């Protein structure tokens, strides 16, 4: 089981809203947590790790940099161990597309092999990582 929360809005409240939303998803069970945000300079920033929300937040500070477009994810592993690499969000080769996902991609190994043959580099052992590479 996983949980996903997103926020788009004005002002400096997005980071706090997503962090609070992630905490409200704790009851679902999870082994890792992460966020992706677009910063004021249009950079995509991804922060993620295995562990509890408060521990990962203390380590990575989900409240900085400020953003008004953020997506957050808590993960319960189905493919790949609970590690930083396997935590969501996952990005494409350029780091410009971030994806979180709830579900199972049955043919991900076939898709991954096809993408690797085309030069895509994978960092995780999860099925979700094929999605940003397919979009790329």
What tens digit of pLDDT does each residue of 5-46 get? Answer: 999 998 889 999 999 999 999 999 999 999 999 999 999 999
- Which pLDDT score is estimated for 90? 98
Cβ-contact 82, 43 below 8 angstroms: no
Structural domains of the chain sorted by starting position, each given as residue range(s) with its CATH number in brackets: 3-135 (3.60.20.10)
Residue 70 banded pLDDT, cuts 50, 70, 90:
very high
**Structure tokens, 99:** 């994806």
> What CA–CA distance (Å, rounded) separates 126 from 77?
9
Query: Inter-axis angle of helices 14-24 and 53-60, to 10 degrees?
Result: 150
For residue 107, the 8-state DSSP code is T
pLDDT at 80 over 90: no
| pTM, two decimal places | 0.93
- Which pLDDT score is estimated for 132? 98
- Which pLDDT score is estimated for 75? 95
């Amino acid at each position: 089981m996983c949980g996903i929360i997103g926020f788009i809005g004005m002002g400096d409240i997005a980071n706090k809203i997503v962090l609070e939303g992630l905490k409200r998803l704790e009851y679902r069970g999870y082994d890792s947590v992460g966020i992706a945000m677009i910063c004021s300079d249009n950079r995509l920033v991804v922060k993620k790790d295995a562990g509890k929300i408060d521990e990962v937040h203390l380590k990575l500070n989900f409240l900085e940099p400020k953003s008004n477009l953020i997506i957050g994810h808590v993960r319960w592993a189905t493919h790949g161990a609970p590690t930083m690499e396997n935590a969501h969000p996952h990005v494409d080769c350029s780091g410009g597309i971030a994806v979180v996902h709830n579900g199972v991609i049955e043919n991900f190994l076939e898709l991954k092999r096809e993408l690797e043959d085309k030069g895509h580099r994978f960092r995780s052992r999860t099925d979700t990582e094929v999605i940003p590479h397919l979009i790329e």
